[in-house]
Each structure stands twice: as C-alpha cells, then as structure tokens.
Amino acid sequence: MSPTPLRLGVAGLGTVGTGVLRIVRQKANLLAARSGRPIEIVAVSARTRDKDRGVPLDPYAWEDDPVRLATRDDVDVFVELMGGSDGPAKAATEAALAAGKDVVTANKAMLAIHGQALAAQAEAEGRVIRFEAAVAGGIPVIKALTEGLAGNEITRVMGVMNGTCNYILTRMESAGLPYEEVFEEANALGYLEADPQLDVGGIDAGHKLSLLASIAFGTQVAFDDVELEGIGDVTIEDIRRAADMGFRIKLLGVAQMTGRGLEQRMAPCLVPAQSPLGQLEGGTNMVVLEGDHVGQIVLRGAGAGEGPTASAVMGDVMDIARGVRLSTFGQPAAELAAAKPAKAAMPAPFYLRMKLLDKPGALAKIATILGQSGISIDRMRQYRHDDTTAPILIVTHTTPRAALDEALTAMEGLDVVAEAPVAIRIESV
C-alpha cells in the first residue's frame, strides 16, 4: 500500500509562492524519499489568475478566496504566503486551523502581532503552525532554537535580519555614497518594501526579533516592546569614522533576558570590523545564538529571495510530512510568560561623533561633562577642521546608557557644540 500524499493548498503566488511550486514540481522524488510520502499541491490562490508566473498552474485547482482554499476538504496543510498582519492572511489562517489544517507561513508581521492568539488556537485544534520562512530567509534559525539548542538556556539572540538595510549600509561604505542616494538605488532595484519604512525603519527586522525572542526566552510575542530605530540617520561620515576606528555599522537586533525584564532592541550599532557580523556584506543575514552550554552559534545565509525562502517553507512542510509536531513557539502557548519589557540598560561602549566650535577649551568642556557623568574615554580623534568647527570622534569605555543620556543633555547647553552629538552603541560580538 503506497503512502498517503501530504496535500498542500498554497495562498499567494508571488516570489516565494512560485518558488514553492517549482520545488514541489522539480524535486518530487527527492521530497518523497526524504519525507516517506509524496508531497502534492492540490490548489492555489492569488489576487490575479492570468499573470505569467513562469510556472504552469493548470495542474492545480484555483480558488479566488484564500479562506475557501484554506478549508478545502482535499487540503491537509495551508501554506500562507500572502503577507500582511491582518486581512485575508489572518482570516485564512484562522479558518485553516478551525478546519483542522496545519499551517506553514512566511508571515512575520501576522505572527509578531497575533502570534500568541494563533498559537493558542492551533493547540486547541490539535494543529501546528510552522514559520521558518518568516525569519532570516533560508537560515534555519527557528529549527536551531526549538530543536538543536533545546537543551540550552539561551542567553542572547543577536543578528542582522534585514538584507535591504545591510545592502544599503555596505553599499554606502564601499561606494562612498550618502544614504539618500543608496536608498533610491535600492528602491530602483526593487529591494525595498512597498512601504520602505518597514525595511529602513527597522520594523521588518523588529518583527523577526520578537519571534526569536519568544522562542528563546519562553515569552509571549511582544513586538510592541521592541525598541526600534532605523538607519535613516546614519551618515556616510559615521560609516567612514567608524571604519577609521575599526568598526562597521549594522542594523543589529539584540534580545536578552535580564533581571529587569526582556530587552529587545533593533537599532544601528557598531560591531568590530573583523567580527563575523562586521564582515557581513550585501543582502546576507546573520543570526548569532548564545546558549549556556553550547556557547555561541553563528548562522549565516541568504535572508530573502525565491530560493532561500521557499527552501525554508519546504523544510516546514517536510517536518509535517514526517509527523514532527511542535508547539508554535517551542512550548505550549499557555505556558508562555507575558514578557516584562525592559529598556536597553546593559552597559556598553559608545561611539560619539560631534562637531565643536573651534574655540580654546572646547574639548576640555566635553571631557569634563563626560567625567561628571562617570564616563571615561577610551579613544578620541580630531579630524581636519574648517575655519570655525572641528569634528571630534570619541569612543567611550563601557557605560550605562542612562549616564550617556545625562551627558548628552548637558552638552546641549554648551556654547561650543556646533551640532547635536551622534551616539551609537558598540555591541560586543
């Protein structure tokens, strides 16, 4: 007797959806051999039916309504690749679970906002939600946390999780171009979301960080508690000065549990240029996981694109085909603690860039304020100045952010500061 096929209904036939269709068509024998049963697509849904997607749709039933697709009797797994935190994606996912279907999704926004409720519904229905493709494209970081590192207490999750931002920052450095020019270049190349702020504002990466933090620390997803700062204020001067001091600037996500609560921040940071994160180029993603027994694990790979993301989708499909059943966030939804949010207060070194008026004693006034706030200077450089101002770069020793904020506020009242200082955290990696 031949094994029963696992039947998929795929909603959303954009880049990732068509990639899934290609894998299932081209790798049918390999998928069956590795999972122990055939994998079939029986029905699909998308906004437009007649668009040329480069793959034939004739073998599949068509549904205009993704909710109808999600509840078809001949669908075992609903594959949601439409995107959007609400609307059809959420409605179809809820309908699929209620109809007794498992769900595979790449929808980070939906899970970051509604993940707890959807996980509870899935468990009440005896179903699973898998979402490897929602975080870091083809990098199997969800599987690493829920399976490979399950015997560890995770101490920190950190990473570059938005390839568009990493492309912009590395392109600014390599070409010596300002942010605005590289932003327009990335937009012309199609790298930016329809709402670019999702990328450059850190929102997309913040969604991903909140999902990883939930798994890593056994907490309910708390995207609203992520401290977000985008890359729009990073200048070519910052990139050049940071490089001169041995650092590179990355949009870095960091989550860690402290005695005060869960810190989650997504913001530009300096990292050592020779570190794995510092050497990350272009649109590549990297996630660093730290556990009490395993130490540090570094996962690097393509963070977006048809092949990598479709690969992650199929990894989840294969687990379901093999009978692997895991709670959505690694443990039952009812056992996930409500995270107590904590602002990033862990001491760290900071990069300070400022422009001072070329007056006697100007630098001494800055040093005095830093000293009064308990901040010591590790390194300092003064660059070629014009007739009236002098650019100054300071790297502090480890200091609490609150002390730095106190010093920055005091500097605003000085008569020697020509421009508000720029402060960027230096992260140890």
Do 130 and 15 sit in the same domain of this protein? yes
In this structure, what token pair is assigned to residue 116?
A: 């707890």
Do 172 and 290 sit in the same domain of this protein? yes
Q: Name 125's Cβ contacts closer than 8 Å, sequence gap at least 6.
A: 97, 98, 100
Out of 134, 169, 196, a domain closes at: 134
Domain count within the chain: 3
- Tell me which H or E stretch contains 44: strand 39-45
Give the DSSP letter of residue 3: P
| pLDDT band at residue 157 under the 50/70/90 scheme | very high
250-298 pLDDT, tens per residue? 999 999 998 889 999 999 999 999 999 999 998 899 999 999 999 999 9
In a domain, 311, yes or no: no
Do 267 and 392 sit in the same domain of this protein? no
CATH of the domain at 369: 3.30.70.260
Question: HSE of 95 in the Cβ direction (CA atoms, 13 Å)?
Answer: 21
In a domain, 325, yes or no: no
> Helix (H, G, I), strand (E, B), or coil: what is residue 381?
strand
Give residue 34's domain range. 6-134
| pLDDT band at residue 303 under the 50/70/90 scheme | confident
Do 109 and 212 sit in the same domain of this protein? no
Provide the angle, in degrees to the nearest 10, between the axes of the packed helices 28-35 and 15-26. 80
pLDDT at residue 39, as a whole number: 97
pLDDT at residue 1, as a whole number: 66
Mean pLDDT of 177-191: 89
Q: Is the Cβ–Cβ distance between 267 and 343 less than 8 Å?
A: no
- Residue 238 above 70 pLDDT? yes
CATH of the domain at 185: 3.30.360.10
In a domain, 273, yes or no: yes
Residue that has been written with the tokens 């990069």 in this structure = 351
Do 223 and 167 sit in the same domain of this protein? yes
pTM of the entire structure? 0.92
Exposure of 279 by Cβ count < 10 A (0-12 exposed, 13-18 middle, 19+ buried)? middle
Beta bridge partner(s), residue 354: 392
Do 207 and 171 sit in the same domain of this protein? yes
How are beta strands 227-228 and 129-130 bridged, if at all? unpaired
In a domain, 313, yes or no: no
Do 163 and 286 sit in the same domain of this protein? yes
78-136 pLDDT, tens per residue? 999 999 999 999 999 999 999 999 999 999 999 999 999 999 999 999 999 999 999 98
Residue that has been written with the tokens 């999902």 in this structure = 211
In a domain, 332, yes or no: no
In this structure, what token pair is assigned to residue 387?
A: 């007739």
In a domain, 125, yes or no: yes
Do 116 and 173 sit in the same domain of this protein? no
CATH of the domain at 121: 3.40.50.720
What span, in angstroms and rounded, lies between the C-alpha atoms of 3 and 354?
A: 68
Out of 289, 321, 342, a domain closes at: 342
Do 292 and 268 sit in the same domain of this protein? yes
How are beta strands 377-382 and 295-302 bridged, if at all? unpaired
Mean pLDDT of 292-318: 93
Do 118 and 182 sit in the same domain of this protein? no
In this structure, what token pair is assigned to residue 53?
A: 């997607």
In this structure, what token pair is assigned to residue 112?
A: 């970051």
Out of 134, 165, 196, a domain closes at: 134
What span, in angstroms and rounded, lies between the C-alpha atoms of 243 and 155?
A: 29
Is 208 tagged catalytic?
yes
Q: E strands, 185-294, where?
A: 227-228, 247-258, 261-272, 284-291
Do 130 and 153 sit in the same domain of this protein? no
Mean pLDDT of 367-371: 93
pLDDT at residue 64, as a whole number: 95
In a domain, 14, yes or no: yes
Mean pLDDT of 222-250: 93
In this structure, what token pair is assigned to residue 371?
A: 């000293």
209-222 pLDDT, tens per residue? 999 999 999 999 99
In a domain, 180, yes or no: yes
Do 78 and 169 sit in the same domain of this protein? no
Find the catalytic residue in 143, 208, 250, 355.
208
Work out the percent of the chain whose per-residue pLDDT is above 90: 78
